Chain A
Amino acid sequence: MDSERAVAVAPARAARWVGRRLLAPQAVLAVLLLVVLAYLVVAPLFAVVTTSLIWQPADTRLTGVDVEVGRFTPYHWQRVLASPLTRNLIVLPLLRTLAVALGVMAVVTVVGAALAWLVVRTDVAFKGAIATLSVLPYVLPSWTIALAWLTLFRNQGVGAPRGFLEYALGWQAPEWLVYGAVPIIIALGIHYFPFGYLFFAGALKNLNTELEESADVLGLSRWRTLVRITFPIIMPAILSVLLLAFARSIGTFGTPAILGLPVRYYMVATQIYSLNLTGREGQAYVLALALMAIASIGLYLNFKVLGTRKSFDLVSGKGGRSRIVKLGGWRIPAGAGTLLFLAAVGLFPLLLLVWSSLMTNQGDYSLANLSLHHWIGAGRPGINDGEPGVLRNPLNVIAIWNSVRLGLLAGFACGGLGLLIGYLVARMRGSLTVRFIEQVSFVPMLVPSIAFGAIYLSLFGRGGPLAPALYGTFALLLLVTIGKQLPYAARAGISAQMQVSKELEEAASVLSVPWHRRFARILFPLTRPAFLAGALIVFITTMRELSLYIMLVTPRIRLMATQAFWYTEVGFRQLADAFTVLLVVVILVVTGLVNLLNRLSAGRVRGAS
Chain B
Amino acid sequence: MHRIVPLLTAAILAVLLVVPSFEVPVGAQMRYPADVDAWLKQAQLGPYAPAREDWRAVHQAARREGKVTVYTSSSRVPALKQEFEAMFPGVELEAFQLGTAGSIDRLEREHRAGIFNADVIHASGYAAQYHRLFRRHMIVPYVPPELVAVVPKEFREPLVAQRLEARGIFYNTKASAQPPITSLWDLTKPEWRGRLSMVDPMVDASTLDFITQLVGSALPLARDYERVFGQRLRLTTPNAGYELLKGILANRPRFFRRHGDALPVVGDPNAAEPRIGISMVYSQLRDVKDPARGNLQAWPVTQATPYAGMSYPSLMNITVRSQHPNAAKLLIRFFFGDEKGGQGMAPFMVPGNWPARTDVRPPDDPHWIPYEKIAFKIMDPEAIWRLQTEVQDWWIANVR
Contact = CB atoms under 8 A, between A and B. Distances in A.
Interface stretch (A3-11, A66-74, A236-244, A331-339): A66-74
B97 A68 contact: no
B96 A361 contact: no
Contacts of A156: 271-273
Interface stretch (A49-57, A185-193, A200-208, A318-326): A49-57
Contact of B400 (A88, A278, A360, A361): A88
A89 B400 CA distance: 10
Interface stretch (B57-65, B250-258, B304-312, B314-322): B250-258
A84 B397 contact: yes
Given A50-B21, A69-B26, A462-B114, A278 B291 contact: no
Q: Count chain B CB atoms within 10 A of each CB in A62, A88, A383 and give the residue with the most.
A: A88
Interface string A34-49: 0000000000001001
Provide the main secondary structure of the chain A interface. helix
A296 B9 CA distance: 11
Contacts of B396: 85, 88-89
Given A555-B96, A570-B75, A361 B291 contact: yes
A491 interface: no
B4 A432 contact: yes
A384 B21 contact: no
A97 to B, nearest CB: 15
A88 B4 contact: no
Contact of A57 (B13, B102, B108): B108
A88 B292 contact: no
Given A68-B25, A471-B117, A436 B264 contact: no
Interface stretch (A256-264, A411-419, A506-514): A256-264
Given A58-B132, A436-B8, A462-B115, A69 B255 contact: no
Interface string A246-290: 000000000001100111101000110110011110000000000
B131 A60 contact: yes
Contacts of A461: 109-110, 113-115
Contacts of B24: 70
A258 B4 CA distance: 43
Contact of A457 (B97, B110, B295, B399): B110
B97 A569 contact: yes
Given A61-B388, A261-B255, A360-B292, A273 B203 contact: yes
A298 interface: no
A362 interface: yes
Interface string B1-25: 1101100110001001101111111
B268 A161 contact: yes
Contact of B203 (A50, A277, A300): A277
Nearest to B6: A300
Contacts of B78: 555, 566
Nearest to A59: B389
A162 interface: yes
A274 B255 CA distance: 14
Contact of B293 (A58, A87, A160, A573): A573
B20 A72 contact: yes
B200 interface: yes
A574 B292 CA distance: 9
A161 B270 contact: yes
Nearest to A458: B113
A46 B21 CA distance: 11
Contacts of B385: 61
A162 B21 contact: no
A314 B186 CA distance: 70
B128 interface: yes
A362 B292 contact: yes
A60 B131 CA distance: 9
A262 B20 contact: no
B13 A49 contact: yes
A177 interface: no
B293 A266 contact: no
Contacts of A570: 75-76
A433 to B, nearest CB: 11
Contacts of B94: 554-555
Contacts of B79: 385
B195 A159 contact: yes
A161 B271 contact: yes
A566 B292 contact: no
Contacts of A92: 400
A63 interface: yes
Contact of B102 (A53, A261, A550): A550
Interface in A169-201: none
A525 interface: no
Interface in A330-386: 360-364, 383-385
B339 to A, nearest CB: 23
A71 B106 contact: no
B112 interface: yes
Contacts of B5: 300, 432, 435-436, 439
Contacts of B332: none
A430 B79 CA distance: 58
Q: Count chain B CB atoms within 10 A of each CB in A280, A472, A555, A574 and give the residue with the most.
A: A555
B364 interface: no
B203 A162 contact: no
A551 interface: yes
Contact of A70 (B23, B132, B195, B389): B23
A571 interface: yes
Given A161-B264, A277-B203, A362-B292, A53 B17 contact: yes
A513 B76 CA distance: 63
A344 B386 CA distance: 51
Interface string B128-151: 100110001000000000000000
Contact of A85 (B2, B268, B397): B397
B270 A257 contact: no
A61 B393 CA distance: 14
Given A72-B20, A261-B200, A432-B4, A278 B113 contact: no
Interface in A192-234: none
Nearest to A47: B22
A269 to B, nearest CB: 11
B397 A264 contact: no
Contact of B1 (A432, A472, A554): A432
Contacts of A70: 21-25
A50 B22 contact: yes
Nearest to B262: A262
B49 interface: no
A22 interface: no
B219 interface: no
B20 A274 contact: no
A68 B271 CA distance: 53
A476 B284 CA distance: 37
A235 interface: no
Contacts of A435: 5
Interface in A85-112: 85, 87-89, 92
Nearest to A160: B265
Contacts of A581: none
Nearest to A303: B2
Interface string A379-411: 000011100000000000000000000000000
Interface of A: 46, 49-50, 53-54, 57-58, 60-63, 68-72, 84-85, 87-89, 92, 156, 158-162, 257-258, 261-264, 266, 270-271, 273-274, 277-280, 296, 300, 303, 307, 360-364, 383-385, 430, 432, 435-436, 439, 454, 457-458, 461-462, 471-472, 550-551, 554-555, 566, 569-571, 573-574
13 contacts: A46-B16, A49-B13, A158-B254, A161-B268, A257-B203, A261-B257, A262-B256, A278-B101, A363-B294, A364-B291, A566-B78, A570-B76, A571-B287
Given A361-B292, A384-B292, A457-B109, 7 more contacts: A159-B195, A261-B256, A274-B202, A277-B203, A277-B204, A457-B110, A573-B293
A-B pairs with lowest CB-CB distance, top 4:
A70-B23, A461-B113, A363-B294, A570-B75
